[in-house]
Each structure stands twice: as C-alpha cells, then as structure tokens.
Structure 1
Amino acid sequence: MDQTGQAGGTQVGAQGAHADPVRGDILVVEDTPASLQLLSRLLTDAGYRVREAPNGELALWSAQAQAPELVLLDVRMPGIDGYEVCSRLKRMPGLDEVPVIFLSAHSDTDDKLRGFQVGGVDFISKPFQFEEVNARVQSHLKIRRLQQQLAAHNDRLQKESRQRLAEIAHLNRNASATVYCAALMHELNQPLAAIMSNAEAAELFLKMNPPQLDDVAEILSDIQRDDRRASDLIQRMRELLKKSDPVVQKLDLNDVVRQVCTLLSGEARMRRIVLEMQLAPQVLPVAADPIQLQQVLINLVLNAFDAMAQLADGARAVCLATRRNGNTAEVLVSDQGCGFPEGHERVFESFFTTKPHGMGLGLSIAAAIVQAHGGSIWARNNADGGATVGFALPGQP
C-alpha cells in the first residue's frame, strides 16, 4: 500500500471511531503481511470487527467457521487465488449472499469481469486510499443489511399469510361472520399489496449505481407501517373467529360430496346450473375433518360456478366425480366454463385470481386444507372446454 493511502486511511479511521460508524464483521484476505496488518488496523480503528486470513485456505476455513458480513479479498495469492476463493464461498451454505470486494493491483477490464462472474460485488484497485475502502465497505454493508431486512419482512409476510389461511379454514357457517371476514380480507389485501409493491421498488433502488439508500430507507419505513396495519387486521380477525382444532374422523368421501351438493343445490338453481354427481360404486374411506373437507369442496364448486357466469342458460353444468386411484381417494370438480388462462399452475397461490373482482383465496385455502390432510391438489383445462380441479387424499382401510 502506498504512503498516501496509509496516511489518508489513518485519518479517516480516527474520525470514524468517534462518528458512530457502520460496524460489521469483516474478513480480510491478503497474502502480504504488511498490507494485511495495515488494512486490519485501519478497519479496526474505524469500528469494524476484523478477522485476518493470509491465504485462501485459511479464508475458507474462517468463513465456514463463522460467516462474515463482508469479505475483502486479494486476487493474487499463492495456492488458491481470490477468484477461486470467491467461487467456493458462493457454493457454501449460508455464505452465498456474503458480499465480496476484490483487491488487486491489476485493474484491467478482464480482471474485473472475472471478479463479477465468480460472484464479487465490487473491485478496488491497488494502491488504494483507505477513504475509498471505507466508503465501499460501508455502502455494501448497508445494501446487505437492507436486503436482509427485506427478506425478513417477506418471511414474516408469508408466515402471517399461512396463519391467515389457517384462521379462514376454521370459519363456521355463521353468515354474519363470513360476511365480516370477507370485508376484513378485502381491507387486509391493501396493506399486503402495498408491502409487495414497496419491496419491488426497494429492489430497483438497490440495483441502481450508486444504490439509492435514502429512498430504500424511506420505503422500509412504509413497509413497516403497512406491516403493522396488516397485523392489526389479522388480530381483529382472530378476535372474531373462535378457532378450534380440527377433528379428524373416518369419512366416506362419497357422503361428503352428497352433503356439499345438497348444501349448494339452491345456489345452483339460482344460477341456472345443473349440479351432477358421478360417485364411485364402492365406499371411499378417508381420515379428515368433515367441516374442512366440506369447505374444500364448497370452494371448488363455487369457483366452477363463477367460471360459467358468462355462459348462456342451458350450457352450465358442474360435475363432482369420485374414484379410487391406487391408495388414494380422489374428487374431481369439472365445469364447462372458460378454463384457466396461461400460467394456471399459479391458481393455488394466495391472491392469484383471474376474476375481475376476485381475491384469489378460494383455491389457496382449498390447497392449504388438502395439504394439511396429507393430500395433493391439481388443476387442468379440459380438452373439450372448461376446467377440472381435483384433489386426492390417502385412503383408509
């Protein structure tokens, strides 16, 4: 390192120690002892926790023992060079997202491109000023922490979504509770949509050169506000619903289909839809909660009804068929509607809908219940028009 870089680094390090610097756990990999010691001292003075590795082998061992937040990695080293070290780090569990900044006396374009190809996030040419090193380290630590915050928000959102689906799965037949929950769900969709939109915007700001960290910080504040709003709505829903544990019983799947057809016969007549049953001749025993299983079928049948809303009278029919398939018992709900659009493999995702006013929850709730019972669910378009949604549950003796 040149004398200019050393003097400048000492000054910045002294200021950083009194200016509440961005702290982080940094692994410095440098085969020149003098450069390694100097860079480690300057980073330590600036408030960072520093680990040293004089070669690639020790760097890999240290990173695997305890993941650093950032790696400063010399390119030219005996044995394993910096490019190979970075490539191996990116293949190690838990280390693939750790930012790696390369240090090299060679600054031609090919060297930089190779560094980015193996997973590096930045490239600092030697000899360097410590001001530059410090600024780039701070920037990439901030970016990494913002990415972690976004990932944490996304994980929390998914967890709350699963909890919400579980709560809805326990809805009883009380009409007023159902209507109130539908209103709450519509209201809940707004902050969730805002969170997803803001997360996408934050990713765009992080990809800018340089990253727009102030804008990302403001977006994170908005995400936290919408997250609190969504949590409040979920709490209101929990207070409304009296959740009870599922009561798993041995049931005949044919009987459940008959019960659902009876429940929905009035709705079918009102919509001028013919509701048909094609039941297996033998008993189809399964182990399931009867209310939840009814809810699955009700959701599938109502979804089929909606798919035929634009058809002329006389062309509307929904068929519920049951059958044994090896060790499973299956139900197929077929309609003569418009079928699923391209990308229909997503129909079981929460909030995915093809309806102008739909919320995209009916099929996702059905999928959650079926999977909780150890079953599987699928959807396909029929060759002669319309669509079929089916599910299978493990058969019982």
Structure 2
Amino acid sequence: MSANGEILLIDDTPENLRVLGDLLRDRGFTVRVASNGAMALRSVQARRPDLILLDIRMPDMDGFETCRRLRTDPALVGVPVLFLSASDADADRIEAFRVGGEDFISKPFQTEEVLARVTTHLSLARTRRALDLANDLLVGQVQQEGHRRQAAEAVAAERQARLELVLSAASMGSWEVDGKTDKATFDARGREILGLPAGHRPAWRDVVRMIDPGRTQSAAEDAGCDLEGWLQPPIEAAGTTPGRRRVRLRGRWLDPVSGAQGVMAGVIWDVTDEYLLRDRLFQKERLEALGLMAGGVAHDFNNQLAVILGELEILSLTVSVPAPLRPHLDHISAAAEASTSLIKDLLTFARRRDMQLAPTNVSVVVGQAARIATRSLGGHIRCSTTIADDIWTMGNAVQLENAILNLCINARDAMLEGGRLDIQLSINPAGSGICRLCRSGFSGTFAEIVVADTGLGIPESIRERIFDPFFTTKAEGSGTGLGLSAVLGCVTSHDGHLTLTSEIGRGTRFTIHLPVIRPTAPADMAATLPSPRPGSVLVLDDQESVREVIAHGLRHLGWEVAVFSDADAAIAAWQSTTPRFSIALVDMVMPRMSGSAVFRRIRQIDQTAQIVIMSGQAGNETIHALRQEGLAGFVAKPVRLRELAQTLSGLIRTGGPP
C-alpha cells in the first residue's frame, strides 16, 4: 500500500477508470477499481480502502444505493466517500450527502481540484482516527490510576509513550483540567500552539476565551469541550503570541460520575493549514464562476462594439462629415474605444483573452508606463522612478503596461491632497513573500515591479476584497472597480505573484514579482507588408448586425463577400461554390456549432482552405490548438476594418498565415 493512501475508484466507464486511476497513481496513491456496485462491495470486504471515489450513474446498483450499503458496514466507519457525477443538479448533491457522502465533484473535473479534495479528505480521516485513538488512550491511562500501583505505573508509562507517538505524528498536543481548581495543564506541543511559557497553568476560562472570546465558562460549567477558532493573545501570562493561527480543542470528563469534580482531558491541534486549504478551494471556485460570467458579458459587449466601431469606420471611408458634426463622431469613437478597454480588463480578469506571451523587455515596459503615469498625475504629486536596465520576462507588453498604469491610477486617487509616487524595477535574486493571489508563500529570483504611494492606505477590513471585480471605494462615476481585477488576471497569466503592504495614513506598496529570462535580441522590424489586395470572403456570424457591418466595410474596400448566419449553410456554400472563396471568416462562439467545429468541417472538405477565427473571448489554448491544425489567423473582437482587411490581404498574398 502507498504511504499516500489506498483509493477505491468505482465507475462503470472504463475510460474514466483509466484516466482517473492514472492521475492518482502518478501522485503516489494506490488505486483499486470496480466497475459496478456489487464488485465494489466485494472489494471492501477483502480490504478496507482509505477513501472511495464513487460514480452516481451506474446500471443495476447506482452510486446512492452503493453508498447506503457501504455505510452499513462497521468496518468502513471513517472511510470518506466522494461522489463523481456529470450532473450538477441540487437534488443529486442533496441525496449524495444524505446517504453518507462527504463531498461531491462535478464532471468534467479539474485535475488540481480532484487532487486537493482527495488529499484534504484523506488528511481529515487520518486526523479523526488519530484523535479517536488519542482519546481512547487517555481514558485508558487515567482509569488505570489506583489499580496495582507499580503495574499501573508501568502500563501508564508505556501508553504515554504510545500516545506521544500518535500525537506527534498528528502534530497534536494534550491537556488536562482540574475541575476543582479550574487550572489547565498543557504538554510542550500544547504550550507551543497557545504560546504559553513552560510551567504556566492558566485558568480554563482564559484558555476558552483565547479561542472563543465570547465564552467565559469555567471547566465546572462545561459538559465537555469541542472548540475551534482563531487564536487570540494569551491573557493571564506574558507568553509568546504564535501569530494568526486557527486551533481546535477537544476533550471530555474522564469520569462522568465525578463530572466537574474530576479531570477533563483532551487534545489540541493547529488546523490553520486545513482551514486555509478549504478557503483557497472556495476562492478558486468563486473566481472561476466570476470569470465565466465576465467572459459571457464581454462576448456580448464585443459584438455591440464591433457594430459601433465598424459603422464609424465605414462613415469615415464613405461620407464627408461636416465639420460641426466631427466632434460628435469623435465622442462616439472615444466612448467605444473606452468600452473596448473595459472589455479587455474584464477578459484579462477572466483569463479568457487571447494573450500571446513573448520575450519582453520589462525595463522598456515599466519606463513607458512611468512616462504615461507622470503626465497624468498632476502637479500635486511628485513621481520618482528607479528602473534597472535590460530585465526580461515571458510576457505581454500591453497587459503589463496596463497593470502598472492601473496601480498608478489607484495610487493617484489615494493622494488627493498630494504626495509621492515611487515606481521601481529591479531583480531580486532572493525574492520571497506571501502572494495575495494564490495565498501561499514563494521564493526565488524575480523581476520586481514596485508601485508605492504616500496616500490614505488600505484598511485591513477590505484588503481581501480589493481584487474582486466591480469592488470600489471611489465615488459613483469615478471608477469601474475593474482595475485591480485586471491586475490580478495579468499577474496570474504571467505566472507571477503579487504582494501588498499598506499602513493607514502612510501609504500603500504593491509589488509584482515576475519570472526572469535571458535577454532576447530585438526582432527585425524592417520588413513591412505591402498594401492590401482584395479577394472573396465567406463571413459566418450569428449576429446579423456584426456580419452586415463587416460585409459592408469589406465590400467598400473591394472585397467580394458572402454572409451566412447558419454554420451548415456556410459549409455547404464553401463546398459548392466554384471557384471557392479565398478566405472564410468565422465567429468562434455561435449556437449549435462552434467556430472550432466549423473550421474542422471546412478543412475536411478542403485541406488548403484559409480560415480566420474572430472572437472576443477565445483563450490561448484553443487558438494554439487550431493553429497546430492549420488555422490561418485570429482576429480579436471588436474588429477594426482596416486591420481585418490587412490580415486577409496578407493571406491572399502569401497563400498562408501572414
């Protein structure tokens, strides 16, 4: 059996058994498999597993019935059962917990989520077993007092040694409370957890208050003990405060008859890591949900912006606008461009924007951002820059610059009465800290971008919320609440970390930590594309206004255009039209058939077909996979007519991706 644990995987689909089994074995778990409920019941009779992963939908005996029967076996008490299901219905979740399941994982599952949940439940099960054993040993130890003194002392010593071994393995401490004096005694590990000095015996009511300030009972007033909470500083004695830790106390009276006149004994352990792991899982699920919402909203907005910007471009190409009307058109164009920037921030937060990473000179990016920020600060704020030369990372210059500018704008708005803004870039070979994004420690060599101000500071009460989309402390109309969300998405997409320090009335310091790469020689920018040359284009988009604007603009520039709203009709037209279209321009997100599916259908008909995908939310992985299959190009929505025409002309000119 593996030291990591033995897992019984129950699923009637062989491919699921293979994929999930390989994943768990690769992480050091021993895996047994069963293809139905009856086989699973026989398997657990032969050997008790440490954890069970159970599919709901199986023939003959479904997962719910299998779980009911497993829970009737006393030998399986304490074995966690985690349900797997493609269904996300509330009724299935409720039934899973009602029949005795500990958790519910929706298919298709995320690898890291499955591993995190499996590891957490195995850890909890082991902790419970260790706790039960510890309590049994304590009860047995105390009950032996007074029976055959010499023999009892020998037995007690042996059991104490075994208890210490168990507690040590579980990182637990032990304690006792004298019900008559209300004084508590902790072993070395217990004192370490509470931050108490050696030899100190605090009153039980003060121990309780350290964990739950709302309770002040003495031991005599407690029927038993089961407490969990964030540790407060010691009250009676000047001990060493162990910091922000979450602890749990559990115990009972050793002699129920004596009760409060006897001894209460139990264990204490630090549950901070377990608590934070659960919190990280919750935050991850929450951010994923927000990302999906942001991506959907951005897709719809991009289609509307594509129409507005496209019509403006067509007007500029076809109509001589009277001078008095030009400012109004400029205002419309500026508002549309500002909305486009807002959508980019949303998609960056959602991590669904097609962000291409390449060797990037961070020194140049930070310098450019500092120059822009300096011009926008106003005379009441002094700006100081310290930028090291020739620092490189794998990144996206536009997104990094936007992230720095968002931090500078926040700093400016925090210094309404004036102050100083420091922008710094350096390499730290021993960088470390606790990341505000992934909530874990990191260390190594990093390029560190610092944006520090002398403004109001960020209250502790809202620091966990400042990266939430649409959260803002600014007056209505003064901010979107997306600036720091965009910074979060940018830093995460660059495999970086973000740290924050702030003091009320003294200022705030954000530090972006980016991986460092070797400097890269600048690319040869001498070559330029010749002027665009028209051809024939098939345009497929389910939004009528979008496809009509694109078609109108391309026709004005000399292209032959056929528009389609239905994927099947567009595919049939490609196959039947002679000669075939030069290029197919296909939207990624459509009902019934996605842009990826249309691409593959057309390529089956014509391996030489030049196909360009357009979308406002396609991710790097999707586009990269299609490029490997022969995708000719990608155009981000909202589409700019001139850029689109140049991309299409490049394909006609070269016969392939430009």
Q: TM-score, normalised by structure 2?
A: 0.30
Structure with bigger helix share is 1
Structure with bigger strand share is 2
Greater RCO, 1 or 2 (C-alpha within 8 Å, sep 6+) = 1
Specify the structure having the higher radius of gyration (Cα). 2
Q: TM-score, normalised by structure 1?
A: 0.46
